[in-house]
Chain A
Amino acid sequence: MAEPAYTVASDSETTGEEKSSAFPEIAIGVDIGTSQCSVAVWNGSQVELLKNTRNQKMMRSYVTFKEDIPSGGVSSQLLHEHDLLSGSTIFNMKRLIGRVDTDPVVHASKNLPFLVQTLDIGVRPFIAALVNNMWRSTTPEEVLAIFLVELRAMAEAQLKRPIRDVVLTVPVSFSRFQLTRIERACAMAGLHVLRLMPEPTAVALLYGQHQQQASPDNTDSGSEKIALIFNMGAGYCDVAVTATAGGVSQIKALAGCTIGGEDLLQNMMCHLLPGSQSLFKNHGVKEIKSMGLLRVATQDAIHRLSSQTNVQVDVDLGDGLKICKVIDREEFEEVNKSLFEKCESLIIQCLQDAKVEVEDVSDVIIVGGCSLIPKVKNVVTNIFKGKEPYKGMNPLEAAVCGAAVEGAVASGINDPFGNLDLLTIQATPHAIGIRANGNNFIPLIPRNSTMPARKDVVFTTTHDNQTEALIIVYEGEGKKAEENNMLGYFKISGIPRAAKGVPEINVCMDIDAANVLRVLAGVVMPGCRQPAIPVMEVRMPTVDDGHGWCTEALNRSYGGRLDLVTVEKKA
């Protein structure tokens, strides 16, 4: 048996106590994209992108399972695009990680040329690669870990030092549960996550550095520059509004959704071959091959449509199935109309959340793989009345460069020229609260709150002599508790017997600068300053897979017996 490609380090809380070097280790910045991936590091004076042995800065995000040893897109020499699509290669792990099999994104992934099986009961999907005509099961975490091991080896070879600390960029729409899965994958690869940065905030940091370099002595000036960052890659679409001055970037609002190049591609595949989903349902070897061929041809057509107004698609899918069609740009835009509209509404929502008018925005930054699509650029610039997008950044490298800058800043590196005198004041992308007042979601920390954040709310019992209460923590924007992502739950017991509404149950949520969420709960009886029972402090999320099940099970077992309601504050 071959050595496993990764080592399972105990995840989280593995502190870097064995640091012997007098110099602090500079954390590397990693941008794991749905389709492409890159690594960058602060080299002492500027950000440098690392290249693999094939001299690539951008590496495809995939892992091929062949024989015993899996190999990823960093090291392997890809013979032909079609090899990638023969069933043995897993990709799009960023779209699959931390999702359950009822998630529409998982369902959309069933068209990929490897096995994604769902039972639609709220557990993790079954994912497998075809190796020697056998389905070998894997998980998105495992695939990501194998990939990260390769990235780490590449970085270590180039920087000639061991790599441990990383700053990773993540989509805005990732739930806290998904973030833990990313951390888990990093731990499997022996990496310690210093910070997970929402992608547009990494771009905001880079923008802050640009502004600082352009006019280094405006620290004292009150005038800030507002920028809108639109980032659309293969898997996700993110928006941020940032206010920057004197090296301080304050994230005013964040918005994100699961829309990306992958959706454009799938819509086009459906357009070229109506009913393609049902055609490939069985995942036979032949079907996978056809699916792969169609995918490559469509992807190629979309790429060419960025520079041409029409393209000829000519592909033989085998079994007498041939596609011969001319597609023009308008057709492509029409097919994906609803996706572009969603992007537009995301930007508008972000501007509203930030309480910023279109006229206040000094720079519009469009980054990510999809920024090359003319329609995407149009959608953004139209909102800003035709304003030319910001030119100072490479749209494909901005996020990873921002992550590398954050890596240097967070590692405590000083730059004699002040290039690292930067600070990003982050905001929470989702509201966090608990279930109370029946089945309602009561947010304690609203969306777009500045981090670190601390908020507390007083709740009380719903029954006389209620001695226990259940705190169920959710994240999201839904009014009803179950419309949100459950992060975890715990029970407070030992509430002194009293009439309903008398005990004060204090729930406090605390998000530190590293985005760690802690929920504290305690009971105070009126007239006492001392808590009635020891305060509970719980780090969230605590749930593992199948969180939907937990809610149902809790409801079944306890009904409303352990419920809470909010208390009208006495002013």
Chain B
Amino acid sequence: MNTLSLSSNISISKPVHCLPFSNKQHKPSHMKFVVVSCIATKVKSNEKNLYNILSLSPKSATMDDIKRSYRSMALQYHPDICHDPSMKEECTRMFVKVNAAYETLSNPMLRAEYDCELGLRSRMMSNVGVSEDEKWRRRWQEQVGGLKKRSLRRMGQKGGSWGNRMRTQNMKD
């Protein structure tokens, strides 16, 4: 049972090549929930990169790419697709992450902010080629962007939702 859940965890994580599992694969004595928490720690170090979550290249990803990737990830991780009850929790966790990444990257304003944070482009550059219409949109969304960024950073620090950590912890005890 343990090995089964372990291997399925790994197979599900394959397409997200930001998750290096190699060192975690050989711990068969661990309980399933420990494995879950390992994933959380692993993701944590990469959490900052939303592009990795959606398997996208930060430089070249177009809006269509982002949407397409979101859909294919949804078809993989949405709990409705997953008919194995033991995997539901893990799928839900992944889907929530995929969704958070999508919400930031599919919003030009939030994406620009996020790219700045990653150091991919300067704030000046991010405004190049943007229509007037888009600019005012950005301005009013700035506030929202700030909030979003803060919460993302907080998530990054803590490694996933607090509820999850608590649940995991409770189950270990």
Residues of A contacting B154 in the complex (Cβ-Cβ under 8 angstroms)? 569, 571
Q: Assess whether B81 is in contact with A423, with CB atoms less than 8 Å apart.
A: yes
Write the nearest CB–CB distance from B63 to chain A, whole angstroms. Answer: 7
Q: Beta-carbon contacts of A539-570 to B below 8 Å, as 1s and 0s? A: 00000000000000000000000000000010
Q: Beta-carbon contacts of B90-114 to A below 8 Å, as 1s and 0s? A: 0010011001000100000000000
Q: Is B169 an interface residue (CB 8 A)?
A: yes
Residues of A contacting B92 in the complex (Cβ-Cβ under 8 angstroms)? 452, 454, 512-513
Q: Beta-carbon contacts of B148-173 to A below 8 Å, as 1s and 0s? A: 00110110000001111011011000
Q: What CA separation (Å) do A354 and B65 show in the bound complex?
A: 20
Q: Beta-carbon contacts of A382-426 to B below 8 Å, as 1s and 0s? A: 000000000000000000000000000110100000000001110
Q: What CA separation (Å) do A506 and B169 show in the bound complex?
A: 15
Q: Assess whether A246 is in contact with B166, with CB atoms less than 8 Å apart.
A: no
Q: Is A450 an interface residue (CB 8 A)?
A: yes
Q: Assess whether B75 is in contact with A454, with CB atoms less than 8 Å apart.
A: no
Residues of A contacting B80 in the complex (Cβ-Cβ under 8 angstroms)? 409-410, 423-424, 513
A424-457 contacts to B (CB < 8 Å): 424-425, 450, 452-456
Q: What CA separation (Å) do A221 and B64 show in the bound complex?
A: 8
Q: Assess whether A508 is in contact with B162, with CB atoms less than 8 Å apart.
A: yes
Residues of B contacting A494 in the complex (Cβ-Cβ under 8 angstroms)? none
Q: Is A522 an interface residue (CB 8 A)?
A: yes
Q: Assess whether B71 is in contact with A452, with CB atoms less than 8 Å apart.
A: no
| Chain B at the A interface: SS class | helix
Q: What CA separation (Å) do A530 and B170 show in the bound complex?
A: 10
Residues of A contacting B95 in the complex (Cβ-Cβ under 8 angstroms)? 452
Q: Is A313 an interface residue (CB 8 A)?
A: no
Q: Is A534 an interface residue (CB 8 A)?
A: yes
Q: Is A296 an interface residue (CB 8 A)?
A: no
Write the nearest CB–CB distance from B41 to chain A, whole angstroms. Answer: 14
Q: Is A78 an interface residue (CB 8 A)?
A: no
A188-234 contacts to B (CB < 8 Å): 219-224
Q: Is A535 an interface residue (CB 8 A)?
A: yes
B37-82 contacts to A (CB < 8 Å): 62-65, 67-68, 71-72, 74-75, 78-81
Q: Is A520 an interface residue (CB 8 A)?
A: yes
Q: Assess whether A569 is in contact with B150, with CB atoms less than 8 Å apart.
A: yes
What band does the interface of chain B fall in when counting residues whose beta carbon is under 8 Å from A?
20 to 34
Q: Is B83 an interface residue (CB 8 A)?
A: yes
Q: Assess whether B96 is in contact with A412, with CB atoms less than 8 Å apart.
A: no
Residues of B contacting A455 in the complex (Cβ-Cβ under 8 angstroms)? 161
Q: Is A248 an interface residue (CB 8 A)?
A: yes
Q: Assess whether A425 is in contact with B67, with CB atoms less than 8 Å apart.
A: no
Residues of A contacting B75 in the complex (Cβ-Cβ under 8 angstroms)? 246-248, 423
Residues of A contacting B153 in the complex (Cβ-Cβ under 8 angstroms)? 571
Residues of B contacting A162 in the complex (Cβ-Cβ under 8 angstroms)? none
Q: Assess whether B169 is in contact with A508, with CB atoms less than 8 Å apart.
A: no
Q: Assess whether B78 is in contact with A535, with CB atoms less than 8 Å apart.
A: no
A254-277 contacts to B (CB < 8 Å): none
Q: Assess whether A535 is in contact with B63, with CB atoms less than 8 Å apart.
A: no
Q: Assess whether A245 is in contact with B67, with CB atoms less than 8 Å apart.
A: yes
Q: What CA separation (Å) do A245 and B74 show in the bound complex?
A: 12
Q: What CA separation (Å) do A513 and B163 show in the bound complex?
A: 17
Q: Assess whether A456 is in contact with B161, with CB atoms less than 8 Å apart.
A: yes
Q: What CA separation (Å) do A520 and B166 show in the bound complex?
A: 9
Residues of B contacting A219 in the complex (Cβ-Cβ under 8 angstroms)? 71-72
Mind listing 17 A-B residue pairs with CB under 8 Å?
Answer: A220-B68, A221-B64, A222-B64, A250-B74, A412-B83, A424-B80, A452-B92, A454-B161, A455-B161, A508-B166, A513-B78, A513-B79, A520-B163, A520-B166, A531-B166, A571-B150, A571-B153
Residues of B within 8 A of A (CB): 62-65, 67-68, 71-72, 74-75, 78-81, 83, 88, 92, 95-96, 99, 103, 150-151, 153-154, 161-164, 166-167, 169-170
Known: A222-B62, A222-B64, A452-B95. 13 other contacts (CB 8 A): A219-B71, A222-B68, A223-B64, A246-B71, A423-B74, A425-B78, A506-B162, A512-B79, A512-B92, A513-B92, A522-B162, A531-B169, A569-B150
Residues of A within 8 A of B (CB): 219-224, 245-248, 250, 409-410, 412, 423-425, 450, 452-456, 506, 508, 510, 512-513, 520, 522, 530-531, 534-535, 537, 569, 571
